[in-house]
Structure 1
Amino acid sequence: MAELENPNMMPNLLTFLSSLLEEVAESNDVNSGFKVQKISVFHGLTRPTISIQSYLDRIHKYANCSPSCFIVAYVYLDRFAQRQPSLPINSFNVHRLLITSVMVAAKFMDDMYYNNAYYAKVGGISTIEMNFLELDFLFGLGFNLNVTPNTFHAYCSHLQRKMMVQQPPPSITAESSLSLGSIKAAHLCFNEEEPSHQNQQLAV
């Protein structure tokens, strides 16, 4: 667990998580015609042009989250998938789910975090949309945000084992299978502009 919480491990962790999410999204894209899926605020009209890897790197660069925050965000995505089986993660919603899960995890885990307007800027969406995404994500989780030490250790151990062999897992064993999901909303007009820290309140 300590290894994954080491900032030096972040590049490997981000690469692994992006690889995992790409695999899940591509699989659900292929299977989208065979399953009934709901529409949600996380779904864009088109696929964002930025890759999942680049998007995660951008979040890491500008959101200043702790390594633990990304692991907890992964736990939240897994929980969301369990509770919302008709909203599978795909290439149309994975970016919005990522920025929302990281923001919620940062608020829960970190002593300092930015306001929603700043995370919206990092994610390339409007503040209003960020607020809606946060609310929908929390309801999708059933407001189950607590991550026990045992659960955290289990996810860390699982990720460490899989990262050692560089094989993104098709499912997660700590709490559930990783079927991951969601759908709807406006097109993610991603803005490559760097977010300004000016006038952004750092919540404590």
Structure 2
Amino acid sequence: MADLENPDVMPKLIAFLSSLLQRAVESNDLNRRLQPQQISVFHGLTRPTISIQSYLERIFKYANCSPSCFVVAYVYLDRFAQRQAALPINSFSVHRLLITSVMVAAKFMDDMYYNNAYYAKVGGISTTEMKFLEVDFLFGLGFRLNVTPTTFHAYCSYLQREMILQQPPVIVAEHSLNLGRSLKAHLCFNEDEPSSHQKQQLAI
């Protein structure tokens, strides 16, 4: 993104990410009725009453992590969804995945960050649950936490382009059951370093 430190950028980014995730959640909730999906520690017994956007705004307000963490957290969610096809992001899991991905991104990216108990309080869950979520998320990612500058800027460019258009893409295409597959179609790669052909596609 052109300037993540610009105070006007983050509210727009959060709104856009919320819209993007909401579309994926709604589609995956519908697919959940048609075929069984695996249940994990990220699934709550009930749907949280707080909206995705309000939850992201709460995390941004209290987590005090760098703006870049939200982009990296988005990368992590994409990777997680690609690797865990049986665990599509739905209304029962999206909030726990969000707080976990931001926490892991902050620990990996920022020089200063809070402990698990603090992030648990921000996320509205117990400290014990936060610890379990972190471990399961790391294994779900295959511990692939590094985000190269090439990957970071590619995701930023994608988000910036879509935000400028003000037309959030339809995230989950027909027959697609998770966020990762559809994002892969838009981003044209799912590894840290895209090939030269993929770089050309990203430049379009």
Shorter-chain-normalised TM-score: which range? 0.7 to 0.9
Tell me, in whole angstroms, the C-alpha distance in 2 between the residues paired with 1:24 and 1:10: 21
Spell out the pairing of 1:165-204 with structure 2 (5 A cutoff).
Answer: 165-169=165-169, 170=171, 171-172=182-183, 173-174=186-187, 175-176=189-190
Per-residue deviation, residues 119-157 of structure 1 (Å, max 9, x unmatched): 000000000000000000000000000000000000000
Aligned partners of 1:4 and 1:13 also within 8 Å? no
Q: Which residue of 1 aligns with 2:99?
A: 99
- The gaps in structure 1 that reach 5 residues or longer are 177-204
Tell me, in whole angstroms, the C-alpha distance in 2 between the residues paired with 1:81 and 1:73: 12
Is it true that 1:153 corresponds to 2:153 in the alignment? yes
The Cα shift of 1:27 comes to 0.5
- The gaps in structure 2 that reach 5 residues or longer are 172-181, 191-204
Per-residue deviation, residues 19-70 of structure 1 (Å, max 9, x unmatched): 1111100110001123331110000111000000110000000000111000
Spell out the pairing of 1:67-82 with structure 2 (5 A cutoff).
Answer: 67-82=67-82
Stretches of 4+ aligned residues off by more than 2 angstroms: 1-8, 33-36, 171-176
Asked which structure has the greater RCO (Cα within 8 Å, sep 6+), the reply is 1
Per-residue deviation, residues 132-188 of structure 1 (Å, max 9, x unmatched): 000000000000000000000000000001001122231333334xxxxxxxxxxxx
Aligned partners of 1:7 and 1:67 also within 8 Å? no
Q: Which residue of 1 aligns with 2:10?
A: 10
| Percent identity (aligned) | 78
Q: Secondary structure at the match of 2:33?
A: coil
**TM-score (norm: length of structure 1):** 0.83
Q: Secondary structure at the match of 1:33?
A: helix
Q: Which residue of 2 aligns with 1:117?
A: 117
**Which amino acid in the other structure matches residue 86 of structure 1?**
A
Tell me, in whole angstroms, the C-alpha distance in 2 between the residues paired with 1:28 and 1:48: 16
**Which amino acid in the other structure matches residue 95 of structure 1?**
H
Is it true that 1:47 corresponds to 2:51 in the alignment? no
Structure that is richer in helix per residue: 2
Q: Secondary structure at the match of 2:142?
A: coil
Aligned residue pair count: 176
